Amino acid sequence: MTEASPHGAEPPDAEVGSLAEVLDPSRIRLSVSEARLLLTQLLSPAFPIGSYAYSQGLEVAMASGRVHDVETLQDWIEGVILFGSARIDMALIAQARAPGADLAALAALALAYAPARERAEELRDQGAAFAACARALGLDIPDLPYPVALGAATSSLPLPDTEVLALYLHSLAAQLTSAAVRFLPLSATLGQRLMARLAPLIVTQAQSAPELTSAHLAADLAAMAHETLQPRIFRS
C-alpha cells in the first residue's frame, strides 16, 4: 500500500502514459456508468490525497468535549454540510465544472475563502495531491485547491452537478466521521449508521443552489484554534 504524502502524491509510474490514452475522457467519451465509477474512485477514501489526516477543526471540538458522541457529531457534520465550508466548496466545484471556467481565478477565490491557515494548506496540499493522481489517470488538470481541482477533473464527465456534489458531500461526511471514530470512543458501526442517516440531507443539499456563504462560526473558530492545539493527531 502506498500512502500519499500530504505535500504531494508519489511520482507517477512509467506506464502512466499509455493508461492516460485509455482513460482520457476528452478523447474517449466515457459512458454514464463508467463516469460514475470514475467519480466514485476520485472521491473514495483510497484516492491518495491524505484526507484521513484532516479534521477541519473537528479535532478541537472533540478535544474540548463539544463533540463527544454520535448525536453531537451529527450536529457538527450537519452544520458543516448545510451551513459550513462545504457550501463554499460546493460553489467552487460547480463553478469549476462550468464550460470555460477560469480556473486560475477560482483557485485564488478558493484560497481567499480559507477560514484559517491550516485550512488553506489543506486546500492546497490536497488539491495538489488530487491533481497529481488525476493526471496519472489521464485527467489533464493543473495543481489547484481541492474543490477547484475536483470540479476541473470532473468537468467533462457526463454527470450532473448534483451527482458530483452529493458524492463530494458524502466523502466529506465520511472523512469527518472517520476522524471522529479514530478520536472518540465511537464505534465504526455507529459511524456507519450516522453516514446512512445523513443521506437524505446530503441529497437535498446537493440540489441547493451553491453560494459563497457560511454560518458555521464554531467551525471557523475551531479551525483557527487547531493551530495551537496540543497534542493533536490531525493536520487541520
Kindly list the residues in this chain that would bind another protein in the complex (CB under 8 A).
66, 72, 75-76, 78-79, 83-84, 88, 108-109, 111-113, 115-118, 120, 211-218, 220-221, 223-225, 227
CB of 110 to another protein, least distance (A): 9
Q: Which residues contact 108 (CB under 8 A, 6 or more apart)?
A: none
Q: Which helix (H) or strand (E) holds 74?
A: helix 70-83
Nine cell digits for residue 12: 507517477
Output 190 or 229, the one with its CB closest to another protein. Answer: 229
Output 44 or 64, the one with its CB closest to another protein. Answer: 64
Output 12 or 79, the one with its CB closest to another protein. Answer: 79
CB of 84 to another protein, least distance (A): 8
Contact between 227 and 117 under an 8 Å Cβ cutoff? The reply is yes
Output 101 or 224, the one with its CB closest to another protein. Answer: 224
3-class secondary-structure state, position 232: coil
Residue 2: phi, psi to the nearest 5? -110, 140
CB of 33 to another protein, least distance (A): 37
Class of residue 65 by CB neighbours under 10 A (exposed 0-12, middle 13-18, buried 19+): exposed
CB of 212 to another protein, least distance (A): 5
